[in-house]
A and B are shown apart, each in its own frame.
Chain A
Amino acid sequence: MKSNNSRSPVFKFMQANLFVKSVIIHENNKTSYFPNVENGKKYYFDTIIAHYKKKSTPGSHMLLCTQKEFIYFYQKKETIYICECSNNISISRVKMEFNTFIEDSNKQGKFPMFITSFFNR
C-alpha cells in the first residue's frame, strides 16, 4: 500500500523524532507502511505482525531488539501500531513518544480519518 504523503501525521511524527525509521499500521487485515518499504521488508513485518496478532490484546505491547533496531508494537483497540527505530536510544523514550503520538492522534480525530482513508479503500 503506498503511503508517502509527507503531510501525514505519521511523517510529522517521524520528522520530530529522527530516531524513528518507519511506522507500520495494521488494521482490518491491511497494513500501511510509512515510508513505503520494499517487498522483502514487507514480508518481514507481515510475518512478525501475524505472530504478534496471535497473542496480542488491546493495550498490549511488545518490543523486539535486533542488532540495529528496536521494533516496538502497540495494539490500541483493533489497530496494531509498530515503530521501527534505531537502538541507540532509551526504550522508555520510544514507548513514551510513540504512545503519546498514537493517543494524541486518536484524540484529535484527524488520525482516524487519515487511517480510515487507507484501510477502507
Chain B
Amino acid sequence: MAEKQIQLLSVKESITLTPSEWNVIVMLYNYPDLDELKSKYSVNTDQLNAILEKLQAKKAIQSTHIKTLSSAEVPSSFWDRLEKELSISIGPVASLVLDDKIEEFNRSRDNFSHEMLYSLVEKLVTEINSPDGKQQFQKKMLTLIKQYQGNKNGR
C-alpha cells in the first residue's frame, strides 16, 4: 500500500490560503497522521485530497508516499473482474476504456487507491449507452467493491 505522509514546509515566499486550506493546515498540525486526522474531523476524503493538492502546489506541504506492508492497492483479480463486467456492456474496447479512465486519475492499475474505485465506476458508467446496462454494471460493481473491501478488512 502506498500510504501518504504529509509534512508541513517552511514557506519562503508569501502565499495566500483560503479558509478551508488554512483549516487543513491546522488539522495537520494537530494530527500529522492522515488516517487519524480523517477519523477525528470526519472530513470528506475527496475534498481533503483536493485541498492537499492545492497546498502542495503552493509549496506549503510536502506529500510523500511510503510503502507499507499492508496492501490497499487494488488486486489484479479485481481489475480482471471489472474488465470482464465492462466488456459485457461495451464490448472489446473495455480494456482501453478502463485504462483511459484510470489515467484520468493520474494513476495506473498498480497504484490505484481503493478509495477512488467508486469515482472510477461512476466515470465508466458514462461509457455505457443503455440505461439498464448502466444500472446493471453499477450494481455489480457495488457488490464487487464491497466483496473486495470485505476481504481486505478480513485479512
Contacts and interface: CB of A to CB of B under 8 A. Distances in A.
Contact of A96 (B38, B115, B142): B142
Given A100-B139, A100-B142, A92 B42 contact: no
B121 A87 contact: no
Interface of A: 65, 68, 70, 86-93, 95-97, 99-100, 103-104
Nearest to A87: B44
A88 B122 contact: no
Majority SS of interface residues in chain B? helix
B19 to A, nearest CB: 12
Nearest to B44: A87
Interface of B: 38, 42-47, 115-116, 118-119, 121-122, 135, 138-139, 141-142
B42 A100 contact: no
A9 B109 CA distance: 36
B46 A68 contact: no
Nearest to B139: A100
B139 A104 contact: yes
Contacts of A87: 42-44, 47
17 contacts: A86-B42, A87-B43, A87-B47, A89-B44, A90-B46, A90-B115, A90-B116, A91-B44, A91-B46, A92-B121, A92-B122, A95-B122, A96-B121, A96-B122, A99-B135, A99-B138, A103-B139
